[in-house]
Amino acid sequence: MFGFAEALRRLLDARTPEELEESWSAEDVDALGWAALGPARRRDVRKWERALDEADGLLLRLLDRVPVLAAGAQPAAVHVRVFRLPELERLQHATAAALVAQRFGAAGLRAVVADQEAPLPRRYFAFLALAERHRRSDWPLFARYLTPDAHHAFVGTAAEAARFYPQQDAAVRLIELFDAARADLHLREFLSPRILESLYVLDQPEVLGFLRELLTAGHTNHDPVLCEVTRALVMVRRFTGQLEPNAKYADLSAPDVHEALDQAEDRFRREREVLTPVVVI
């Protein structure tokens, strides 16, 4: 966090868009920031509060200064306005949410999510922090957003958070969400990997009928994370011990089929605790 704050301070020293871009690239500011903010968002460590407060103040100063610095028509100015300025805004909202987490804990994060006057990205990062902490008492909050009518970032994160609540009706709610979004191809493409990964983690045999339907009616993709049929095959095999007819692999006895599913399952297992942040503008 202190390294991130120092990188932001060096950005403030830039006098031209070219200097800001050079400093940004040298410091890899966005990667540095997201790497620092992840742990600060997920865990309460009081010693981070000072650095977060400092970074938040520096980001606010940059958001005041950069639009003026990059107001021209030269390519460097346009690049800063189009790419760097939105990233600074997201970093500031994420930093503010992490600061709330350090100062006020889960109660503070819930207050930010509930504040309809707060900027949407700030509410989202507070929501993400609660999802990553997945306290038992927060399930009703996530369940409330398991509807296709909610903002896509919130429903996507709620679908991922559901994997941490096996004692609730999470699996049933996820299947209902999938069915509600089935006909909306863009929303389905966004939600399907999140829903199916959560069902993989929940590991409840009650979803077997739903998975068997996906074997023949699911979408296919070369990337196993995005392939509904591959995810269904992996889970059905775990429940039944065998491969079943599907829309992707005609010859179930082929060695490369088992190898592909083994690799996919290994990847699903490695990513079972990972929640994927959504870019909210």
171 and 202: one domain? yes
Q: Please check whether residues 123 and 247 belong to one and the same domain.
A: no
Q: Is residue 114 part of a domain?
A: yes
Strand boundaries in the chain, DSSP class E:
none
Is 140 part of any domain? no
Q: Is the pLDDT of residue 168 over 90?
A: no
Query: Can you tell me the mean pLDDT for 269-275?
Result: 93
* Strand, coil or helix: 77: helix
Q: pLDDT digit string (tens) for 98-154?
A: 999 999 999 999 999 999 999 999 999 999 999 999 999 999 999 999 999 999 999
Count the domains in the chain. 2
Residue 240's contacts (CB-CB under 8 Å, 6 or more residues apart) are 208
* Residue 47 confidence (pLDDT): 77
Last residue of a domain, one of 133, 164, 189: 133
* Its pTM surpasses 0.85: yes
In a domain, 39, yes or no: yes
Q: Is 141 part of a structural domain of the chain?
A: no
End residue of a domain, out of 133, 156, 172: 133
202: nearest Cα among 163, 144, 257, 157: 163
Asked if 153 and 191 sit in the same domain, the reply is yes
What pLDDT does residue 45 have? 67
Among 133, 156, 187, the domain-final residue is 133
**For residue 40, what are the domain limits?**
1-133
- As a whole number, mean pLDDT of residues 167-175 equals 94
pLDDT at res. 43: 81
Residue 221 has φ and ψ, to the nearest 5°, of -160, 150
Task: Assign 272 a pLDDT band (cuts: 50, 70, 90).
Answer: very high
Same domain, yes or no: 127 and 12:
yes
Of the listed ranges 21-25, 41-45, 256-260, the one predicted with least confidence: 41-45
pLDDT of 184 above 70: yes
For the chain, give the percent of residues with pLDDT over 90.
92
User: pLDDT tens digits, residue range 38-63?
Assistant: 988 888 767 789 999 999 999 999 99
Task: Return all residues near 194 (Cβ < 8 A) that are at least 6 apart.
Answer: 156, 159, 160, 276
Q: What is the pLDDT of residue 217?
A: 95
Considering the domain boundaries, does residue 138 fall inside one? no
**Local confidence band at 255 (pLDDT 50, 70, 90 cut-offs):** confident
